Structure 1
Amino acid sequence: MSETKNIKEMSVEEKLRALFDLQLIDSRLDEIRNTRGELPLEVEDLKDDVIQMETRIQKIVDESKGLEEEIKLKKEVIKNAEALIKKYTKQQDNVRNNREFDALAKEVEYQGLEIELAEKRIREFNIKIEQKNAQVSEAEANLVAKKEHLGHKQAELETIVKDTEKEENLLIKLSEEYAQNIEERLIKAYSRIRTSVKNGLAVVPVERGASAGSYFTIPPQRQMDIAQRKKIITDEHSGRILVDLELAEEERAKMDEIIKG
């Protein structure tokens, strides 16, 4: 069984005031977070870039180590071939006929070719290692620059967060507290409207005969209904919840005092 909020009965005016208070809190939170702009995303992107560059460098280093291992194996091939050449050359001194001598000569020739091929591979591997070392040097230089850029951006973000952290934490707490005192149906409507409009304004006052941020005039009778605060009225064009300007100014003054402490 789901837990329900224990909310006292509120008049329509109290609901309107509570919703507008919540809007003021959330709008201030939006302002604070907007001061960070794209910085949080930029920092995350830079972190990803650093990780990718480090992974790429490690991959090249591992490939170089693999080539070094190949060189060791080829040197072992050369060592074994040289030992066999020495062995076969010595055996040629004790052959009984030309056929045995020629067979040993072919073995010596074959081992000589093995040495040539191994030496060729070693030269190729060394060239590749030099190329990979150059790639690592270039990538490490880029990585240093990227990390430095990331450090600057992180410091910039941390400064902004530090400057607003206390107020932001207070506003988050207030937003949660005020939301808990509003019935779930209204909170859902409020959240839905906030996410559907660009500036996050779900509750707005009527100013100069129109809802704030709108160019559509509200009929005089409807303005009177809003001012009476007897029912919750929404703007038929934007879907925003409407409050009268007097109520809005009263709540702004009240919330300014609360937020300033």
Structure 2
Amino acid sequence: MEKTQIYNFACLAYIDSLLDEYQEEFGDLPGKVKRLKHRVNELNNLVEESENTLKELRKFVKDAKTTIKDLKEKEEKLSKKQFLVRNNKEFDAITKEIEQTRANHNILIDEIRVSGIKEENLIKLLEQQKNDAKEAEAEFKEKANELEKISSEQNEEVKVLYKVRTKYFNKINKDYIKEYQRIRTHHHDAVVRIRKNSCSGCFSAVPPQKIVEIRNNLDTLFHCEQCGRILYPEEIMIDDEILG
């Protein structure tokens, strides 16, 4: 019986059920870690953008102050030049240039004032963004460590399971494997034992004649007529001994 397709299937299904249990221990943790990492990256990018904006703003203010100083000096020179003109045309031209210089000066003064307000708001925003990024980073590390701990605890046991799984997997007809994988998309317990003349997957009754056929044809797949799971006879008992 231990060399039959049905026995190998029962062993494969048992091992997969254990692997499913290990996977359930993770729950949504892997997905949560991934989402948190994405969130951390987003927040760090926002911090970087705000820092660059603040840097550019401060550079603008510094350059504007230098320009204001230059404009002030220019205005003073033009004012002195007004007293040296020889006709109204030259006077009017210098006056116009002075007015334009003052206008540019006033524009920059206003822009510096507005920039000061922007800088104040940006500093507050940046502080909040850094706090958010720090909190997200802490949560990410906590969940990542939790995930790593579970992975470490499972590591050796899961390795053993996959090794034994491969042994039974390779003994099964490849067409049967495809059928098994198809059923697994609907039912994790794709291969189930007949118990008390019933499918242990959906608990529907299995006709006596079919039970006899299953017992006499252990290299052929038989399905539950209700749920479609692969059935194996009650006499086949699978436990952790197959892992030894």
Q: TM-score range by the shorter chain?
A: over 0.9
Deviations 1:92-130 (A, max 9, x none): 121113342233222212211111110110111121122
Task: Kindly indicate whether the alpha-carbon contact (under 8 Å) linking 2:12 and 2:168 is maintained by their aligned counterparts in 1.
Answer: yes
AA partner of residue 109 (structure 2): E
Runs of 4+ more than 3 Å apart = none
Aligned to 1:257: 241
Within 2, Cα distance between the matches of 1:203 and 1:52? 45
Name the SS of the counterpart of 1:108 in structure 2. helix
Q: Work out which of the residue numbers 203, 207, 212 in structure 2 matches 1:215.
A: 203
Aligned AA (2:198): A
In 2, Cα distance between the equivalents of 1:244 and 1:258? 18
| Corresponding residue number in structure 2 for 1:32 | 22
Tell me the distance in 1 between the aligned counterparts of 2:242 and 2:193. 20
SS of match in other structure, 1:139 = helix
1:112-131 to 2 correspondence within 5 Å?
A: 112-131=102-121
**Would you say the 8 A contact 2:222–2:230 is kept in 1?**
yes
The DSSP-based 3-state class of the residue aligned with 1:245 is coil
Q: 1:21 to 1:40 in 2, by over 3 A?
A: same
Q: Distance in 2 between matches of 1:169 and 1:106?
A: 86
> Match of 1:235, SS?
coil
1:242, 1:171 → 2: CA distance?
Answer: 22
* Matching residue's letter, 1:211: C
Aligned to 1:52: 42
For 1:87, the aligned partner's letter is K
Whole-Å separation in 2 of the counterparts to 1:66 and 1:156: 41
Q: Does 1:201 align with 2:189?
A: yes
- Take 1:213 and 1:240, find their aligned partners in 2: how far apart are those partners? 7
1:229-249: CA deviation from partner (whole Å, max 9, x where unpaired): 3432111222211001111x1
Calculate the TM-score normalised by the size of structure 2: 0.92
> In structure 2, what is the Cα distance between the partners aligned to 1:180 and 1:65?
63
Counterparts of residues 41-80 of structure 1 (less than 5 Å): 41-80=31-70
Partner residue, 2:151: 161
1:131 and 1:81 map into 2 onto residues whose CA distance is 29
- Tell me which of 210, 216, 226 is aligned to 1:237: 226
Mapped partners of 1:179, 1:13: distance in 2:
13
Q: Secondary structure at the match of 1:204?
A: strand
1:6 matched residue in structure 2? none
* Runs of 5+ consecutive residues of structure 2 not aligned to the other structure: none
Report the equivalent of 1:149. Answer: 139
Instruction: Write the letter of the residue equivalent to 1:84.
Output: K
Alpha-carbon separation, structure 1, partners of 2:7 and 2:242: 14
Cα contact 1:13–1:229 (8 A) shared by 2: no
Q: Say if 2:201 and 2:229, in contact at 8 Å, map to a contact too.
A: no
Per-residue Cα deviation, 1:75-99 (whole angstroms, up to 9, x for no partner): 2431331232122112112111334
The separation in 2 between residues aligned to 1:235 and 1:257, in whole angstroms, is 27
In structure 1, stretches of 5+ residues that fail to align are 1-10
Q: 1:142, CA displacement in angstroms? A: 1.3
Do the aligned residues in 2 keep the contact of 1:203 with 1:240 (CA within 8 Å)?
Answer: yes
Aligned-pair identity (%): 30
**Amino acid in the other structure paired with 1:54:** N
Contact between 1:206 and 1:242, CA under 8 Å: does it hold in 2? yes
Structure 1 residue 13: deviation in Å? Answer: 6.5
For 1:104 and 1:258, the matched residues in 2 are separated by 102
- Report the secondary structure of 1:246's partner residue: coil
Deviation at 1:182, TM superposition (A): 1.5
- My pick for the range that moved more, 175-184 or 49-58, is 175-184
Deviation at 1:12, TM superposition (A): 10
Deviates more, 1:216-225 or 1:35-44: 216-225
